[in-house]
Amino acid sequence: MSAPAVSRLPEDHPAWKDLRPLGYECARWLAAMGMLQNRWKKGRLGDELTKFLRDWMPQEPVETALPETFDLTWDGSLLEGEGKLLPLTQPGWQALLHLHALRDFWTAELRASHYAHLLQMIPQAWFMDPTPLPPGSVIAGLGITGWAELPRLEAEGRQFIQHPVGENKVVLSAVSAIADSWRARYQMRDGQIVLQEAFLH
């Protein structure tokens, strides 16, 4: 079977608008991940949030110095990267990006516009925490009162992927509506991260 055709992203393709800032935004996100880990270790996120993240915070150190040239790939459902970019692809970090309790942190560290764009580009994800919600509460972005209701959403046509992230721990991610698969190459140039080229595949 022949390999899928790869073609350069047309200049008028709407994805350019999203891909141009994405490399820079991902670099900022990596730097903010390290800051979040440090704040959590020092107990500077509040008692309730610190306790919750004890089960979910990724323990691997995040390296923030990116290579001069790096690629980001979207395979139609997940962001992919290699080496120092791996944290960007991990469901746990994606769930932390979307965690409502960290909204103020991400807004401050990423700037509101970059944070909003990352939320748009990175599939929504949730920690499947078994702790019952308070009466009257729902899981943000899903509108359900507990994980037992997830099959109902799937029966209605919503698609999810469950990612085991440790013993008895699962992160749930939504299947993105971005249909195209692409690869974008970024380059450090005069201290800035510039989109060098992009391909559809």
Q: What is the pTM of this model?
A: 0.90
In this predicted structure, what is the pLDDT of residue 13? 83
Q: What is the pLDDT along the chain (201 residues), one digit of tens a residue?
A: 445 567 888 888 888 899 999 999 999 999 999 999 999 999 999 999 999 999 999 999 999 889 999 999 987 677 888 888 999 999 999 999 999 999 999 999 999 999 999 999 998 999 999 999 999 999 999 999 999 999 999 999 999 999 998 777 889 998 765 556 889 999 999 889 999 999 987
Q: Distance between terminal CA atoms of the chain?
A: 15
Taking the C-alpha atoms of residue 97 and residue 80, their distance in angstroms, rounded to an integer, is 16
In this predicted structure, what is the pLDDT of residue 80? 86
In this predicted structure, what is the pLDDT of residue 7? 87
In this predicted structure, what is the pLDDT of residue 52? 94
8-state DSSP, 141: T
Furthest C-alpha separation in the chain = 55
Q: Which of 61, 60, 36, 63 is nearest to 50 (CA)?
A: 36
Whole-angstrom CA distances from 33 to 40, 68, 146 are: 11, 20, 28
In this predicted structure, what is the pLDDT of residue 178? 53
| Phi, psi angle pair for 147, to nearest 5° | -70, -20
In this predicted structure, what is the pLDDT of residue 176? 63
What are the residue boundaries of the structural domains of the chain, listed by start?
Answer: 7-124+177-200
